[in-house]
Amino acid sequence: MVTNDRVFIVIAAFNEARTIRNVVQQLLVHYPDVVVVDDASSDGTALCLKGLKVFLLRHILNRGQGAALQTGITFALQQGADVIVTFDADGQHHEKNIPALVEPILRGECDVSLGSRFLGSAHNIPFARRVILKAGIVFTRMVSGIKVTDVHNGLRAFSREAAGSLRISMDRMAHASEILDQLKTRKLRFKEVPVDIFYSTLSLRKGQSSWGALKIALDVFYKKLAE
Amino acid sequence: MNLFQLIAAPVATILCVRSALGFVRGKHPRGSSLAAGVIWFLSALFILRPDLTMRVARVLGIGRGADLVLYLFAILFITSFFYFYARFRFIESQLTEIVRHLSFSTSDLPNKGAQSDSSRSPEDSAG
């Protein structure tokens, strides 16, 4: 993808020493502006990036993926990003999906592109995970009124204006639901794009548990009631 | 008077007076002092005159005085829960802002390469 617009890739990383270097190296081939936010990892995640030309930010306390993404997004905006892509550190995402997310924004078709594994492909996705994600779709439609096919995909792209207007306040995993909620309240145009998600043994072991989905739902529920 | 009334009523009265003094002196937020004072006053009143709960309950169409107390307790509990939840989220967000601000001030830039030691100055990493 050739463009004069500055595309920043923001990665929130927590204890991803095994995968982060490989993920970042593959991104740097095509995207020189990569921001890694190390969310107080204890396994030397930041050390694994030694010698790579990345923006490296470090949280001194673990604040959660939502907080780390907002830190990366804010930093990218300060650096003059025109488009910001959020990308997972665990190797589940593939950089070849990035142009499909960015190009609709550059053409002015939308403000936000949302990756959807159910429009694309989800390799080795466990059955239970598929069921929970499908339940999440129903939950999101009830709570936020947003119709999407994948409510918890970390592969997204934002225009500069959209990234500046969004504010992730939910520090942990409920941030994904919050982003969708804000798309509606801020009247941002969004488009779903097919992407490929690769589940490995490592990413499944480290990823969200089924109980985590319940916690996310409770966090969203409490926040709605408290507002 | 029974033993419970002998113990609980003075305690509630003292706490009511303490809240009233806090309201007058303004040492604590006046809204909190007022709310606490009202709760302790009603507590003392209903402890000393439990028949009053029955009268109030009848006026409100609630069956028993005990039910009235239970409903009031439930409302108070739920209100307190959401108040403290909102406070907790506010404090968490402030903590995140501090951590974020610190991360910006210690960021490593790409032309210097990612550093393993955040205590190193940008000048140390050149070359």
Residues A13-28 pLDDT 10s = 999 999 999 999 999 9
Question: Tens digit of pLDDT for each residue in B100-125?
Answer: 999 999 887 775 444 444 333 333 33
Q: Contact B110/A32, CB-based, under 8 Å?
A: yes
- Rounded to two decimals, the ipTM of the complex is 0.85
Could you say which residues from 181 to 220 on chain A have a Cβ atom under 8 Å away from some Cβ of chain B?
Answer: none
Question: Is the Cβ–Cβ distance between B106 and A77 less than 8 Å?
Answer: no
Q: Cβ B85–A222 below 8 Å, yes or no? A: yes
Question: Quick check: A209 pLDDT over 80?
Answer: no
Contact A171 B86 (CB under 8 A): no
More confident position, A56 or A208: A56
Residue for token pair 């999440």: A136
Q: What average pLDDT does range A138-156 have in this prediction?
A: 84
In Å, how far from its chain's centre is CA A206?
16
* Residue A62 pLDDT: 97
Q: Do B116 and A46 touch (CB under 8 A)?
A: yes
In chain A the first and final C-alpha atoms are separated, in Å, by: 42
In chain B, what is the straight-line distance between the N-terminal and C-terminal CA atoms, in Å?
Answer: 86
pLDDT (tens digit per residue) in A83-96: 999 999 999 999 99
pLDDT of residue B111: 54
pLDDT digit string, tens, across residues B74-110: 999 999 998 899 999 999 999 999 999 999 998 877 7
CA distance A168 to B5: 51
Give the per-residue pLDDT at A64.
95
pLDDT value at position A119?
83
* Pairwise pLDDT comparison (B111 vs A104), residue with the higher score: A104
Number of H helices, E strands in chain A: 8, 7
Q: Which of A145-159, A209-223, B67-81, B88-102 has the lowest mean pLDDT?
A: A209-223
Higher pLDDT, B6 or B117: B6
**B32/B72 Cα distance (integer angstroms):** 17
Q: Do B82 and A54 touch (CB under 8 A)?
A: no
Mean pLDDT across A111-123: 86
Say yes or no: B78 contacts chain A, CB-CB below 8 A. Answer: no
3-class SS shares of chain B: helix, strand, coil, % to 5: 80, 0, 20
pTM of the model: 0.79
Are A225 and B82 in contact (CB < 8 Å)? Answer: yes
B96 and chain A in contact, CB less than 8 A: yes
Q: Please report the pLDDT score of residue A210 as a whole number.
A: 61
* CB A82 within 8 Å of CB A9: no
Closest residue of chain A to B86, computed from CA coordinates: A226
Cβ neighbours, 10 Å, residue B10: 12
A162 burial (CB, 10 Å; 0-12 / 13-18 / 19+) is buried
What is the Cα–Cα distance from A180 to A192, expressed in whole angstroms?
Answer: 12
Contact status of A81 with chain B (Cβ, < 8 Å): no
pLDDT of residue A205: 62
pLDDT at residue A1, rounded to an integer: 61
Give the rounded percent of residues in chain A with a pLDDT score beyond 90.
63
Tokens of B48: 């000393």
Task: Give Cβ neighbours of residue A14 (< 8 Å, ≥ 6 apart).
Answer: A38, A39, A40, A41, A45, A62, A65, A68, A89
Q: Is B122 on the interface with A (CB under 8 A)?
A: no
Q: Is B125 on the interface with A (CB under 8 A)?
A: no
Note the pLDDT tens digit of each residue in A165-186: 999 999 988 898 899 999 999 9
